Structure 1
Amino acid sequence: MQKLIDAVVDRLKDFVAQNQRVLLVVESNDASNGLLVKCLDVIDQDASDIFWTFVDDFTDAVAFVNAVASGVRIRRELACKALAKSDGAPWPELPPEAGHLAIHPALRMRALMTYARALSSNPDEQHLVWNLFPATITDPVGYRAFVLELMVHEFPSPWCHHMRVVIRDDVARPALRDAVQVLRGADWFAPRLGPHDIEKAVEEQVGDESLSVDERVQALLTLAGLDYAHGRFGDALAKYALAGRYYAGTGKLALYALTLNGIGEVHARTGNPEQARKYFESALTPATNRLSQANEPGRIDAIPVLLNVSLNLGNLYLSQNRWADAGRYYEGARDIAHGMANAHVEIQCIENIGACHFELGQYREAAQAWEKGTGLARTIQADEHLRTLLQRQRDAYNRLGLTDRRDAVDTELRHLPGGA
């Protein structure tokens, strides 16, 4: 597995380092997209260049640019908070055109990219590496049009100078395969990261006796996840259990929690909710213990595990109509997502918190939760989340007899793209 990753990392590094091409189109399927993003993260940790990576779904160009703009806005807010503690100058405000829906999405994206490039203190030596890796591309025709418009540039003064742009294409429904002929300064890369390639590489790593036990067990954990994804649940359980015994014995609490959560997910998927609950709850202890190791480096590795476990418990209890229990875990997941600046997951948690209140007959609390959610959805311009939350609010206002608020919600819904 590491050989596959190293080959991809080397190819991406070569692209970032060269000075002849601006755009690299990388083909991948939905399953391997996360691995490609991991490869970019590996380069980012070692490089002096500035990496900005976005993985939001591409349903249409406007929604995609809205999501990217939200990510840039959140990154700016976090940077400004950190700089304020050291009396550093805050980042400048985002360019106005980045938030104007009337402006063509490609031009809005350019504004965001040039904003990010301007943050560099040494643009002649430090490239902006802008990575667009949508997890899914549901409109390949619209995606192609958006990318072609975005990447048009003219010499000798291209708008994208000192940039490297890496953009994903879907190997199942390619939209950009001919981009090297259509666009100036474009290159193309199709890494061998298909499901069979990945699984074979992981199996080889598990059996490679030249590797450390730790490396081989990490590969075993990856293989367990692949078994789960392909419905090989018995194999997944056996591998998670074996990896779990190793991590429990070596005191690697976050990874031990991850194995317990994996076992819980298998039981949930195979219709054993009580066993799923047992393992999800068991995973909370090592994850929280890991997080409490204040002096241990890297302890934040437990945070995404805690988020996943909390969401799994919330979803499990929601499926059983145990509204109060579900709401409690969604509240915990909401707080974790907020701390991770993951606004989309935070909104989903808020929606479910409100749903639990609603089912318990706590209509005022439900309305209050959904009002907070709509405020966050407006901030990040997440129209689909906003629509769902407004519809939820309308139900709560009907139960409370708040006709003025219900009518205001109806008005806002009619003015959203696509109407009510």
Structure 2
Amino acid sequence: MNTRRVLRTSNVLLLLTGYQMHWFDSQLQRYRISAPGILNVFVLACIYAGCFNEHFQPSALLKTLLDVSPFLYGLTRLQLLLSIKVFAYAIYASVRAVGVAGEITESLPMTIISARRGCLKRELIAYLLLFSTFVVLLCFGLYIGYEMQFKLPPLQHIMIGVALFLPHLVLAGALRFYCIFAWLTRERLRQLESEVEQLLSESKIKTELQLVANSSSVAVTVAASNEDNLLKPLQQLAAHFGNFFDHLQRSLLLLLGVNANCLLFGFYTYVYFSNTWHVLFDDHMRRVFYAGNISIYACIGCDYACLLLAQSLLEQQRFQFLDRLNSALAQRNTLPKRIRRILKDMRYTLSNCFNLKFLSIWRFNVANFAVIQLIQLLVVALIVTCHYLNDAILQTNERFDSNDEDD
């Protein structure tokens, strides 16, 4: 896998989406501030400011939204309030995280491995983690454009939507930034595991040669092994990746909150549209609504799937590495004391230094993340159900009141 190409691709993507202002210098293997990146963020900020202002101008779309559902209008205002904080914090957090990311990139090998099928597959997975959500969004966009005969809606409506979507896009860069570095860390652990395998093979050969030499009284010279070059890179990788997660954890938590509001918006509109509002639209606009509504769940689900895939593969590689170290340490008589001590230190590092926790409380793994999402969905379903039942009761009371007046 070409690590340099993966890092450069992710850097260009995050620059274009406004999450980063730094350019990845492949020679220094670090990120440095760049004038085009600053200019790009400034232009996006100006666009966002103009779109944000449209929410406070007279608008038929917003007035209709308020008349149809004050609760839905309130969710839009809440999303707008979150968005301005998200946009500012995402840029601030990326500046802090990129410095720690530079410490990881300095320790990663940038050499191009021969293009075997396995290496190409691992590089394609890295691109999948980066671009899958954009591909899903593009597919929905093309379908919606087809249903609307590729006619753009009014400019004001576009700007109102951009004010809600752009900060979300910027903040989601933190998720992609984490995913790509989790994947590269996994590949580095895989490489270190192969080096440990080589070390154990060399140690076995040494032991056999020494036994032969002792039995035949012949002096045998064996080259010194490179066990000292294994422990320190692993410790540095664990420390740097832990710091990287610490700098990104609040961005990821903020993204969870923004996504929760989007899911509530999507579920609420879907329930009411399917039951009552659909009569106000023709068949084309109904399909447009359903496609747009489904795209909310699809894009959020795709982001979370990439996050969990990167994290689960990292955990899988870590446990595989630990199992290999444990099996090697179980063979007490075949390893010199020096190598055993180094392997024990590596096992300790893998066991204790890759335990990622949000705010030092919530352990970040697939099971805990799935539980949090389930709780979010239950809360969203409960809120939508309560509002729907409340509206149904109000309609029933109004119907009874009108019947009483007729009598």
The TM tier, using the shorter chain, reads under 0.3
Q: TM-score, normalised by structure 1?
A: 0.19
Pick 1 or 2: higher relative contact order, CA cutoff 8 A, min separation 6: 2
Specify the structure having the higher radius of gyration (Cα).
2
